Amino acid sequence: MDEVLFYCEEVFFNKYIYPEDFCLEQGSIGRQILSLSIIEIFGGYGIYLITSGIAYILFFDKELCKHPLFLKNQVKTEIKTCILLLPIVSLMQVPLFLLQINGFSKLYTKHDLAAADFLLEAVQLAFFTDFMAYWIHRLTHCKLLYKKLHKIHHMSKIPTPFASLLFHPVDGFLQSAPFHLYGFLFPLNKDVFLVMLIFGSCFAVFLHEGNYRMPKWFRRVFNGPHQHTAHHLYYNYNYGQYFTFWDRIGGTYRDFGDDMVTCASKKD
């Protein structure tokens, strides 16, 4: 993130945002906080609207909008709510990025990292975040936390890609915390961190894209729209982020079959 910050400062902020006599000098903590906040909020908006928009246009089955559990003005509500809540979550993450760029994490710079090492670090990060996210997600489904934190994400029973960031700010921060925590506990290449940060955002959109035509072998190993929509419909299954492994260990994995959405319609 420090290289992203430096690039934004040099190419954009110094020319178009900050005047020459701006009170906060480049490199100061105050300037870092302000710049990181701008990057987090508007970068988040860009990634969210572009990836969700593409997924909705190209992949989301528009017939699902006729489903009896599909809410009136659901897409509009999802977008509006995410746009309102995203800045809060972004600002909550700024202190973590601030610690990282000031050397308090184990992130390291090496742009010529071998492809095998790059992939290994990415897989290790994915498995760590998947393990932590599973238990955090499952915890937010307990009665004490569900109504206060996680219920908003289940507002859409048949989610669209625009529901990918539909979280209470505290819930959204908790869901993303494992990703940041890894960099404070274990050495991690900064390029891997940045790529996986973008990948994680795209994967969240993928989980909500409403394309249930994933092959069965894929559904056995990886979470996808099929499992995650089942989670929205039936609540107590498929808590995992990337993989089905921890759901299988925790006894919460279930494949409802290809007619999952139709059965839910008949049931309700």
Is 110 contained in some domain?
yes
Indicate yes or no: pTM above 0.85.
yes
In a domain, 227, yes or no: no
- Asked if the model's pLDDT at residue 76 lies above 90, the reply is yes
In-domain check, residue 249: no
29, part of any domain? yes
User: DSSP readout, 31-98?
Assistant: HHHHHHHHHHHHHHHHHHHHHHHHHHHHTS-GGGGGSTTSPTTHHHHHHHHHHHHHHHHHHHHHHHHH
Q: At what angle do helices 115-139 and 190-207 cross, to 10 degrees?
A: 50
Q: Is residue 90 part of a domain?
A: yes
Domain that holds residue 176: 2-206
Of the candidate ranges 13-17, 94-98, 150-154, 247-251, the one whose mean pLDDT is the lowest? 13-17
- Predicted confidence at residue 106, as pLDDT, reads 95
Question: Which pLDDT band, with edges at 50, 70 and 90, does 175 fall under?
Answer: very high
Is 127 domain-assigned? yes
Structure tokens at 183: 């960099």
Our count of domains for the chain comes to 1
Residue 262 within any structural domain of the chain: no
Using an 8 Å Cβ cutoff, are 64 and 70 in contact? yes
Q: Report d(CA 56, CA 206) in Å as an integer.
A: 10
Contact between 137 and 175 under an 8 Å Cβ cutoff? The reply is yes
pLDDT of residue 20: 80
Q: Does the residue 237 lie in any domain?
A: no
Which two structure tokens, joined as six digits, stand for 119? 């992939």
Instruction: Encode pLDDT of 211-248 as tens digits.
Output: 777 788 888 899 988 889 889 988 889 999 999 999 99
